[in-house]
Every structure is written in C-alpha cells, then in structure tokens.
Amino acid sequence: MARHVVAPAAEIPPGGRKVVEAAGKRIVVFNLEGEFFALLDRCPHQGGALSGGILCGLTQSEEPGTYRFSRSGEFIRCPWHQWEFDIRTGKSWFDPRRTKVRQFPVAVEEGAALVEGPYQAETFPVRVEDSYVVLEA
C-alpha cells in the first residue's frame, strides 16, 4: 500500500465529500466534523457510486412507533437502491457483517511534512503552509 496525497484538506469542508483517484481506484473522501473517512466509491450491491448518494443519519427504535434519530450526516445512502452505509466503518446498517464497502486509512498531514517524505501528489503542487488529505491505497 502506498500513501497518496489526494487533495488539499480545505477542499473538503465539514459535511463535504470529494471523489479522488488513488492506485487506480475511485475513492470518496468524507469530512465528518473535521474527521476524514475514505470509502471505495462503489456500492457492494450493484456498483452504484456512493458519492452521488444523500447523507443521512441513523434511525433506530426501541419499539414500534418510537423513533430515535442520531449521528446526523454520518451515513451515506447509495443513490441506486438506498442502502445505508456507515461512513465511519463502511458497514451497511441492515447487514453489517456481510455487506460492507471497502474502507481506506486516511489522515491529514501538514504540507511541511509532506515535501520531505516519500509521498506522491500527482495532480497538484504541495505547499509547505497548507495541509493535505493523505490516503493509503
């Protein structure tokens, strides 16, 4: 696995998402309140691009007729058949053990650290004073 500098961190604000390419894969990077998560941009069901889906929260229930809504914005719903995936884990909500989307480690690094290290940023210049999203793929 190589580490790829895929975007300036400022390009993906909280609540935002961006599709990037790394190691020949389409990957979607999410920013949840400053924490970054990266998922393969391909639904495990039939291949819908998750990046085109709507963000939602988690709806649970103690018993029929009660609703508990939490974690607003932390789930992505596939645009094709609306399966829900937890952005933090890549797991589907209805079948977390068997139905999950591949996740990639992702971090934010300072440009100053990156210019010295063995990183590749194929499509844009890395500036010492900015920070960048770095993905392992």
List residues binding ligand FES (CB under 6 A): 43, 45-48, 78, 80-81, 83
Q: Side chain identity at 76, as an amino acid letter?
A: I
Tokens of 47: 């291949």
Residue 125 contact, options other proteins, ligand FES, none, Cβ 5-8 Å cut-off depending on partner type: none
For the chain, how are helix, strand and coil distributed in percent, rounded to 5? 10, 45, 45
Minimum distance, C-beta of residue 77 to ligand FES, in the bound complex (Å)? 8
Tell me which of 33, 67, 116, 122 binds other proteins, using CB under 8 A. 67
Residue 127 contact, options other proteins, ligand FES, none, Cβ 5-8 Å cut-off depending on partner type: none
Sheet holding 54-60, edge to edge: 54-60, 68-77, 84-86
**Is residue 59 within the footprint of other proteins (CB under 8 A)?**
yes
**Cβ count near 43 (within 10 Å):** 23
In terms of Cβ atoms closer than 10 Å to its own Cβ (0-12, 13-18, 19+), residue 86 is buried
**Is residue 116 within the footprint of other proteins (CB under 8 A)?**
no
Stretch that binds other proteins, among 17-25, 29-37, 57-65, 113-121 (CB under 8 A): 57-65
**Is residue 81 within the footprint of other proteins (CB under 8 A)?**
yes
Size of the site for other proteins (CB under 8 A): 18
**Cβ count near 96 (within 10 Å):** 13
Q: Residues in the site for other proteins, rule: CB under 8 A?
A: 56, 59-68, 81-84, 93-95
